[in-house]
Structure 1
């Protein structure tokens, strides 16, 4: 806990380069002695919050920091944001808060949350939801259970006191999400192999994602349209532009392992995919948030230690689910993971909303076990 007089701080609007640096540097204080935290790439946070970022086309945001008055020491940070696409989708003036980090002091946390709410209220918002870093395609949710292991790539992590502060501040949990753990040395139910053969007999073909040249771009554009179609009704999610999607896809291109990224096709058209990626957090943990020349060398060295992966999404067009395409994709992803020479010992499928009963049933029948729980909160303004 902070030993200083907790009233001797102020919440500042982030306007200057000095304040922006303090905002970016602050998580290093919170997680200084945490063995599990993986520092996000600094350049990614800068791009997301930049004045020329894609988000600024359809949204607005304001950064804040909490600063100790005597020394100028940073005590916390938060971003209030308005995503017009989310407002249009849900038909309600919902604001967001995200990028939240704070010392273990409730008074500071409450002041940051209240300042974000005040800004959102002034912009005409009537409800606030979070933590969501601008959209659910970025970092979102607080971890509430499963603090005994590191996060896999592109998954949130936070101190255990964050959820406690939310409850203490009167925020209401609005949705849980789960991460499932798979041990790859356990056998998969025979129904998945049967499902794969049924899909093949129905005219479905399977192949790995292309990872080179024009083939990669064509696959990614098809996956983009399929992703938007499949997840159009996903709670609190808004579609990205094709340009936004392709920028992220190209940034992940060198990380893709095609053996755990199968694609399903019918008559040459992509109708399903399973998006598995190696857990590059194992290597990123050693680069301290910077992929400069030294960071790249460290990344290349430590990536050899990667022995697990994350399955981000498994989906198919609705009309092909009766042809057992999802079962076939799960079967091929698992087979690719245990292929001779592969290093994977376990995988995570994340994240899955608590009320996504059909997906949860399928995952659990494949042997997945919930090992981490996350929450998103809401509050009326």
Structure 2
């Protein structure tokens, strides 16, 4: 009789309802005894992986794989090719993502091998990951900072993942840094810097207009700033209109006007920062389920009690101003505005993430006002 724990690893494409259930439930086995893992909402995950509901799939092709040892699911992975990435970068690079597995080297090797074979079949010459699904989503493998839970839309992994991925021939490509920006940050220095920078009166601040007549145009303006500010960043691909519309719907549900600060320079929008309530704080004890009653709990926690932690995932300054004193003042002003709004309303801690490790200019601004790097996420690459 064969020992199921010694059975060979088999890789299958995810196709049936039962396989999709195994795919989405696998992290619950991997992180069963990890107190810092936050179970995602399973309904949201199913929608995220649905071509009908996720506009990413309008410009990308993906494959989904499960690893079984005997009848037991032991790992999962995705492989994807983004046509917009190919059009912009022309580097024959595909991505793997959503990798989760038990601590078994042959499982990692089989999963990554399946993703690589699929990417080769799509004409790709290099694999980078984990990218889940895109840099707009949840990129990077946690390699430092395992001792605290992740903020909303940030990854959490087991420490052994890095060794297992490197063991299959991958090398580090880029690091992404998350900063803690807590109540002890040096706001006095921030006030001094801003007071000096804003004496000329050419910088003014306002919040986002969320009324029906203006909100869509406001979101488009923010994305225009981002597309300009981030256009030279590593791996950057602009959002499509469908993705912008999808994001706008999410922002409308989550944000208050004061959560988005817009800085105008000489009367034109030139920078902004947005801060999101930390959804992970609100769902941490729900075990991934909204029904039958958790949706009521979630609504109360997000709209009435509000999370006491928040994440700033978006901040941008127009490219022409980035290397100037005005650009620094714009960055500082929008960071201060969203921070003050939230800390005055019960937020006690926040995260600024993610920032490319090589982006010394933005990192300097954040560290200048008291941000402390506390988590590192790594992307790996391998020639195919």
How far is 1:7 from its partner?
Answer: 4.6
SS in 2 for 1:166: helix
Assess, with a 3 A threshold, how the Cα gap between structure 1 residues 348 and 89 changes in structure 2: closer, same or farther.
same
**1:371 aligns to 2:374 (yes or no):** yes
**1:43 aligns to 2:43 (yes or no):** yes
Report the number of matched residues: 375
TM-superposition CA deviations, 1:16-36 (whole Å, max 9, x none): 222122111211111222211
Partner of 1:334: 339
Q: Equivalent residues in 2 for 1:187-336 (5 A)?
A: 187-195=186-194, 198-199=197-198, 201-266=200-265, 269-292=268-291, 294-303=293-302, 304=305, 306-321=307-322, 322-323=325-326, 324-336=329-341
Assess, with a 3 A threshold, how the Cα gap between structure 1 residues 42 and 363 changes in structure 2: closer, same or farther.
same
- Residues 190 and 369, structure 2, Cα contact 8 Å, conserved in 1: no
**Bigger mean CA deviation after superposition, 259-268 or 24-33:** 259-268
Assess, with a 3 A threshold, how the Cα gap between structure 1 residues 123 and 203 changes in structure 2: closer, same or farther.
same
Partner of 1:157: 156
How far is 1:300 from its partner?
Answer: 3.1
After the TM superposition, which parts of structure 1 deviate over 6 Å for at least 4 consecutive aligned residues? Answer: none
**1:182 aligns to 2:181 (yes or no):** yes
SS in 1 for 2:181: strand
Assess, with a 3 A threshold, how the Cα gap between structure 1 residues 4 and 164 changes in structure 2: closer, same or farther.
farther
- Residues 82 and 94, structure 2, Cα contact 8 Å, conserved in 1: yes
How far is 1:194 from its partner?
Answer: 4.1
Partner of 1:64: 65
How far is 1:192 from its partner?
Answer: 4.4
How far is 1:105 from its partner?
Answer: 0.8
Gaps of 5+ in 1: none
**1:104 aligns to 2:103 (yes or no):** yes
**1:31 aligns to 2:36 (yes or no):** no
Distance 1:380 1:61 in 2: 19
Distance 1:336 1:278 in 2: 12
TM-superposition CA deviations, 1:28-68 (whole Å, max 9, x none): 11122221111223233333332434233222111110112
Gaps of 5+ in 2: none
Assess, with a 3 A threshold, how the Cα gap between structure 1 residues 313 and 204 changes in structure 2: closer, same or farther.
same
**Bigger mean CA deviation after superposition, 248-257 or 72-81:** 248-257
How far is 1:330 from its partner?
Answer: 2.2
Partner of 2:8: 8
Distance 1:307 1:138 in 2: 23
**Bigger mean CA deviation after superposition, 330-339 or 27-36:** 330-339
Distance 1:235 1:45 in 2: 27
Distance 1:334 1:15 in 2: 45
Distance 1:23 1:113 in 2: 16
SS in 1 for 2:158: coil
Partner of 2:347: 344
SS in 2 for 1:232: coil
Distance 1:379 1:326 in 2: 35
Calculate the TM-score normalised by the size of structure 2: 0.91
State the superposition RMSD in angstroms: 2.1
How far is 1:11 from its partner?
Answer: 0.4
**Bigger mean CA deviation after superposition, 87-96 or 3-12:** 3-12
Partner of 2:21: 21
SS in 2 for 1:201: coil
TM-superposition CA deviations, 1:176-211 (whole Å, max 9, x none): 111111221443243545425634634322112223
